Amino acid sequence: MNKLKPKLFSVMKQYTKEQFVKDVIAGIIVAIIALPLSIALAIASGVNPERGLYTAIIAGFIISFLGGSRVQIGGPTAAFVVIIYGIIEKYGMDGLILATIMAGIILVIMGCLKFGSLIKFIPYTITTGFTAGIAVGIFAGQIKDFMGLQMGAVPSEFIEKIKAYAEHITTVQPVTLAIGMLALLILIFWPKLTDKIPGSLIAIVVTTLVVQLCKLDVSTIGSVYGELSSSLPKFSLPNVDFKTVKELLSPAFTIAVLAGIESLLSCVVSDGMIGSQHRSNMELVAQGVGNIFSGLFGGIPATGAIARTAANVKNGGRTPIAGMVHAITLLLILVILMPTAALIPMSTLAAVLIMVAWNMCGIGEFIRLIKTSPKSDIIVLLTTFFLTVIFDLVVAIEIGMVLAAVLFMKRMAEVTDMSGWVYEDEEKEEDFNDPMSIQLKSVPRDTVVYEINGPMFFGAADKFMEITKEEMLATKRGKIRKIILRMRSVPAMDATAMHTLHNVFNICKKKKITLILSHVQKQPYKVMEKAGFIDMVGSENICKNIDKALERAAQIKA
């Protein structure tokens, strides 16, 4: 996991012609998906449309070539939109390029120092909160183009932005709004018909044809940005001075942290889809190098794109070759078809980004966390969300992390007492005089028992996924059909651990393995009950002690 060696160099040892064909097809499909998103995200960030493609091409190729994941697709993502917009407004394009390069250098340093594993110390509530907050910011940024409001530059601050919209609401252009609504309806209903062709591409083609054939007076990319360049990205160095570097250090660090979080989360998701394991530190180095070269060639910040990575996996991509093909395909599109993109209506791109924001916000998961999490986790979630929307991501993550740490320590203090029990060292064998010792029990042949010692919280949540690895499920006894989680030494659990336990259950269910819990204490039981996990597992599989759990395992027929 911490090996500083690109995955490409490992997978090519057993590469086949059949997989090459699958990777090429997946890469082309992902490029078609990435095309409208790259253009739309560039425009939403306040830069020229072609810079989005430069990013997907340059950073996308490097991230796949050097990355620590088999299937990661790199490029511009919605998470950066609000940050980039603010940097452009204050420091211009040179400032953004410098911040992107600085962020890349920070990411390379983080990877070389083996910071990749530190992702586990960022609670799930914080990532959910700032992701939802970014989604709200993206949505708010599209209202002007979607409705055709006749106004000047849109302020970067959320509250000022809403005030400006309210002042110009009477300038709505009905035709522009109608084109935006048409695009939005296509984006909503097209996936219900087929997922072979991305809805964003259909929306762009249909609305562009309607505007051109009917000669509608609607703002397009060309009317706003002029003629689009189809030339290759050119190497250039930004103007650098110590004062600007000092001022951009904070936004550059924010970009680096966000790129690291999003890319590693994308790696974790894709690992679960293909049964692989990424190299987190190598991934950070690749993200860093990708961002450095993206900045040097006129691009914007890039990271691993979860949706595009998932699309790559679903279409057969299994090696970094698919990501490299995706970048090469976008390069050909840039050279051949870029001038045509000038005809795309601005309201259509706004609709595409509104859909991106909706998919990104994860409202169902956000509401579920509020309903099922302990109060301390809800406080962290809502605080991070509102700080992201009203202020910025730096403040949100800083305060969110401090708040999470303080509330966690408070929770640990509440569940700790001076009762007469002996600490169980992981290195120490169980006492044969202990009547509850597992070594004195008869374990069915197709059953394995795991004991968890200590609190289940965000800092240790990744350890629980170990039990679902193939090598852990293959024993001398044969195939495992039942897993017992012994939780007598688990005094507390948080939302991140509950989310991980949900993932463990889903993987077990997929592999037709029954999950049984033994000796669940009061606080973890309340969290599970509130989250609906007890009903999912089945109350008959929540046992009072290890004896009852083993009896239950013996009763279940494989």
The whole-angstrom separation of Cα 190 and Cα 290 is 33
The tens digit of pLDDT for each residue in 460-490 reads: 777 777 777 765 666 555 678 899 999 998 8
Would you give the distance in Å from CA 4 to the centre of its chain? 22
Q: Are residues 453 and 326 in the same domain?
A: no
The whole-angstrom separation of Cα 476 and Cα 462 is 26
Distances (CA, A) of 22 to 28, 345, 450, 533: 10, 34, 39, 38
**Amino acid 422: pLDDT:** 28
The tens digit of pLDDT for each residue in 383-417 reads: 999 998 988 777 887 898 889 888 877 776 665 54
**Amino acid 463: pLDDT:** 75
Please check the confidence at residue 283 and state whether its pLDDT lies above 70: yes
User: 77 in a domain, yes or no?
Assistant: yes
User: 293 in a domain, yes or no?
Assistant: yes
Q: Are residues 215 and 332 in the same domain?
A: yes
Q: Are residues 447 and 356 in the same domain?
A: no
Please check the confidence at residue 217 and state whether its pLDDT lies above 80: yes
Given pLDDT bands bounded at 50, 70 and 90, which one contains residue 31?
very high
Q: Are residues 108 and 229 in the same domain?
A: yes
**Amino acid 440: pLDDT:** 52
Domain's final residue, options 309, 334, 361: 361
User: 372 in a domain, yes or no?
Assistant: no
Backbone conformation region of residue 519, classed left if phi is above 0, alpha if psi is from -120 to 50, else beta: left
Q: Are residues 357 and 456 in the same domain?
A: no
The whole-angstrom separation of Cα 129 and Cα 373 is 13
Domain's final residue, options 343, 361, 379: 361
Q: Contact, 56 vs 38, CB < 8 A?
A: yes
The whole-angstrom separation of Cα 429 and Cα 424 is 9
**Amino acid 557: pLDDT:** 80
User: 154 in a domain, yes or no?
Assistant: yes
Closest by alpha carbon to 248, among 59, 79, 84? Answer: 84
The whole-angstrom separation of Cα 92 and Cα 124 is 34
Given pLDDT bands bounded at 50, 70 and 90, which one contains residue 183?
very high
* Count of domains for the chain: 2
The whole-angstrom separation of Cα 545 and Cα 395 is 45
Q: In the β-sheet with 482-489, what is the strand arrangement from edge to edge? A: 447-453, 482-489, 514-518, 542-543
CB neighbour list of residue 254: distance below 8 Å, 6 or more residues apart: 83, 392, 393, 394, 397
**Amino acid 177: pLDDT:** 96
Question: Is residue 77 classed as helix, strand or coil in its secondary structure?
Answer: coil
Q: Pick the range with the lowest mean pLDDT from 96-100, 141-145, 279-283, 445-449.
A: 445-449
User: 331 in a domain, yes or no?
Assistant: yes
Distances (CA, A) of 455 to 268, 487, 490: 23, 10, 5
Domain that holds residue 246: 7-11+19-361
User: Each residue of 52-63: b (16+ CB within 10 Å) or e?
Assistant: bbbbbbbbbbbb
Domain's final residue, options 361, 379, 405: 361
Q: Are residues 207 and 302 in the same domain?
A: yes
User: 234 in a domain, yes or no?
Assistant: yes
Beta bridge partners of 130: none
Please check the confidence at residue 529 and state whether its pLDDT lies above 70: yes
**Amino acid 167: pLDDT:** 93
User: 367 in a domain, yes or no?
Assistant: no
List the CATH number of the domain containing 539: 3.30.750.24
CB neighbour list of residue 375: distance below 8 Å, 6 or more residues apart: none
The whole-angstrom separation of Cα 370 and Cα 234 is 48
Q: Pick the range with the lowest mean pLDDT from 1-15, 183-197, 202-216.
A: 1-15
User: 70 in a domain, yes or no?
Assistant: yes
Q: Are residues 458 and 346 in the same domain?
A: no
Exposed/middle/buried for 246, CB within 10 Å: 0-12, 13-18, 19+? Answer: exposed
Q: Are residues 321 and 449 in the same domain?
A: no
